[in-house]
Amino acid sequence: RATVAAINACMEERQIAGRQGFWTPEVKSAIAASRVKSEIEYVMAPDTIDPRQLIAEMDRLLPEDRVVFLDGGHSMFFVQTGFPSPVITTGDFACVGMGLFQGLGAAVGRPDSHVVVFAGDGALMMSLEELDTAARYKIPITIVIMNDNSYSAEVRFLEARGYPTDI
């Protein structure tokens, strides 16, 4: 209690108490302005959508009050560099397949916010059973699957080193 009281006193002294947090409109604007605008052509298979376009459309369609979770894998790079909202990622330790269950936990713990999980098809394959949990307990959540029919992070790793990717 003494520690909390000391922290509160320090915050009042520095006039920090009552602030709305770090994500002020100015900070959000500065972050959005600093994002790299990619002009790289993305090679797509027929009947697919450019992942950058998907991210832009999801940003437009989703409510502003959202909690965004990002699973590991190749798809995470498109979301991290293109999505203006802060995202919670499982990629710190190259974890793939953890985003869905973390998103479900957030949806249960934050019923006032719209929870969104972005995952690649490989990440979903590693956590598919969590869809049963979401359905059984009627957990409201938006799940966006970025399907490129491969474990793309591994494919890119192998290609960069000259290893075959067609086995």
Distances (CA, A) of 150 to 12, 49, 164, 167: 53, 16, 14, 12
Q: What is the pTM of this model?
A: 0.68
Percent of the chain predicted with pLDDT > 90: 21
Contact 141, 107 (CB under 8 A): yes
71: pLDDT strictly greater than 70: yes
Q: CA-to-CA distance for 78 and 12, rounded, in angstroms?
A: 40
The structure tokens listed for 66 are 């959202």
Residue 28 token pair? 């959000």
Is it the case that residue 44 has pLDDT exceeding 60?
Answer: yes
Q: What mean pLDDT, rounded, does the chain reach?
A: 81
In this prediction, residues 18-47 reach a mean pLDDT of: 67
Residue 135 pLDDT? 95
Q: For residue 96, what pLDDT is reported?
A: 84
Tokens of 18: 């009552």
Is the pLDDT at 20 greater than 70? The verdict is no
